[in-house]
Structure 1
Amino acid sequence: MGNFSKIYKTIKPSIVAIASKISKNPEFPDIIGTGFIVKSEGIIFTNSHVIKVIEKLPRLKNMGPEDWPAMILYFHWIPDRGMMAIPLEIKGIGSLERIKPVEGYHYGEDIPDLGFIQVHIKNLPALKISERLELEEGDEIMLAGFPMGTSTLRAPGWLHQITPTLQSGIISSILPFPCDDPHAILLDVMTQGGSSGSPVFNPSTGEVIGIEYGGITEPKILKTNSGTMIYENNTSLTLAIPAKILYEIYKKIEEVEEFNNIDISKFDTIENLINKKKVIIQQPRTPSMQPIKSNEIL
């Protein structure tokens, strides 16, 4: 675990935010989910339920039929300046229809909560999905994403930059039991909305061993004079899809004819987008997003 701070620096550029194009403050758009790059020619993994949110987002009047109301935010670190957010246009989205049940036994959902997004950008830093998954209860894990969008990054009360939030924990259980084809991994990590699609890492190798898709909640009942309210509390347990399923889907995506027929030579490079992006240094903003005055008390 001690070397993971160095490994994480190489992993971090591959973690992206999925954001709405319509936000109250365009500088810090509303993040609806997390994704991570799995193919340098523009393939990003996330959750299927995040894809469904994208499809339901409000559309601008000037959007064409091929335009999507969401965008990918790619982050590039500038020393002593902060994190540069580069918006990438979404060119395609997809979800799984059904996977073939494993011979002999099959547990869990027939359709894993896995989706993908395509952008026409090349030379992106892709993460390695673990081909051989040897999971044991008690193994240390780490995940990174955007829990609660940008809310976790407000310190103390205003937003300085957008960047993934790193969390650590252990494998609490392997579902349905330790076997060659588990359908889910139970982690002792509390997650929030926005972290859906976060990659789960082996802290020793940096390889992806799963993708987070939902936290386990506990139903609560609150009785008051005006009535009864039922709500849910987050627990410190989170579910992830194991890497074996991710790797199988990754290999199938490589066989999709639509992807193979795309002329990648026409794609812009991420290096070119970074070089064209202007760096603007602004004053820190208050919670109301106004510049701080010299005599202001916060």
Structure 2
Amino acid sequence: MRPIKIIFVIFCIVFGCTCPQVAFADLPNTIEKVKPSIVAVGTFKKTSSPQFVLRGTGFVVGDGNHIATNAHVVPEKFSPDDPILVVQVRGDQGTLQLRRALLTKQDVEHDLAVLTIEGASLPALPMANSDFVREGQQVTFTGFPIGGALGFSPVTHRGIVSSITPIALPSGNVRQLNEKLIHRLKNGVFNIFQLDATAYPGNSGSPVFNPETGDVIGIINMVFIKSTREAALSTPSGITYAIPVNFLTELLRQSAIR
């Protein structure tokens, strides 16, 4: 039995170390396919310095002239003197282009927004049915972490869905209740994806996708969900949350965007 045990140990070591690499074997090709659909969402004002200010990440959906992102990424009010809403895309020659964007539809309860952009259509990302997402499933997301500090080249992170959990009021005393949390309680709860990969400011609105196919299963949220889930913590964690993409699919359906 001794040789059999040795072979079994070697098998476990070899395949235990290589399985993650095998699972992400298609990732380079997937990233190459996904990156043209990733845009930087921000504001532009010619007289400001810098002229473009990043507010978050978005990705192309539908007919190629619509962008999905978080609702909190879009400024709440505009006046004639305010910067205009734009998305920054990378052209065929690698040059950065700014395109004006207009808010078309939003779902405040799930912190989602759909923008319409000017110009030629861009490649849209396919969306999966997020009801079939499972805990332990490997995922990736691409966006613009830490604002423009790292430049405006999309950055990809990978990890797993560590938990599928409902948004609910955190445990604590009555002093920790606030208007947002009470509003969330009144309007019910919904499941979110908790990821073990770290997202950063600027990643809000980044698509979470299948590393093999590029199909979107969720949207990174760095403000809305984190403030709700971690309101009782004095020191916020590095946990990343994502909104299931089915809420976005429904929003696009309501807007007749395909």
TM-score, normalising length from structure 1?
0.62
> CA offsets, 1:250-271, max 9 Å, x none?
222217xxx9xxxxxxxxxxxx
Letter in 2 for 1:248: E
The answer for unaligned runs of 5 or more in structure 2 is 1-23, 168-188
- The aligned residue for residue 206 of structure 2 is 198
- The aligned residue for residue 154 of structure 2 is 164
**Distance in 2 between the 1:220 and 1:114 partners?**
24
The answer for unaligned runs of 5 or more in structure 1 is 62-67, 98-110, 154-161, 222-230, 260-298
**Which of the residues 71, 93, 100 maps onto 1:48?**
71
Contact 2:64 2:123 in 1 (8 A): no
How far apart are residue 59 of structure 1 and its match? 5.1
Is 1:24 equivalent to 2:49 in the alignment?
A: yes
**Distance in 1 between the 2:49 and 2:255 partners?**
36
Contact 1:58 1:69 in 2 (8 A): no
Shift in alpha-carbon separation, 1:202–1:60, aligned structure 2, 3 A: same
Query: Which residues in structure 2 correspond to 1:7-86 (within 5 Å)?
Result: 7-22=30-45, 23-26=48-51, 29-51=52-74, 54-56=75-77, 60=81, 69-76=84-91, 78=93, 83-86=94-97
> CA offsets, 1:274-297, max 9 Å, x none?
xxxxxxxxxxxxxxxxxxxxxxxx
Aligned length: 208
Contact 2:130 2:218 in 1 (8 A): no
- The aligned residue for residue 250 of structure 1 is 252
How far apart are residue 77 of structure 1 and its match? 5.4
RMSD: 2.9
How far apart are residue 182 of structure 1 and its match? 5.8
Query: Which residues in structure 2 correspond to 1:1-298 (within 5 Å)?
Result: 1-22=24-45, 23-26=48-51, 29-51=52-74, 54-56=75-77, 60=81, 69-76=84-91, 78=93, 83-96=94-107, 111-131=109-129, 133-153=131-151, 162-176=152-166, 183-214=191-222, 216=226, 232-233=235-236, 235-254=237-256
> CA offsets, 1:176-211, max 9 Å, x none?
39xxx9621111122222111000011011100000
**Distance in 1 between the 2:127 and 2:77 partners?**
30
Letter in 1 for 2:85: A
Shift in alpha-carbon separation, 1:183–1:121, aligned structure 2, 3 A: farther
**Distance in 2 between the 1:251 and 1:94 partners?**
11
Shift in alpha-carbon separation, 1:92–1:114, aligned structure 2, 3 A: closer
- The aligned residue for residue 108 of structure 1 is none
Contact 1:133 1:243 in 2 (8 A): no
Letter in 2 for 1:168: R
Shift in alpha-carbon separation, 1:167–1:117, aligned structure 2, 3 A: same
TM-score, normalising length from structure 2?
0.71
> CA offsets, 1:224-243, max 9 Å, x none?
xxxxxxx744x331111112
**Distance in 1 between the 2:44 and 2:222 partners?**
24
Please identify which structure carries the higher helix content.
Answer: 2
**Distance in 2 between the 1:219 and 1:232 partners?**
10
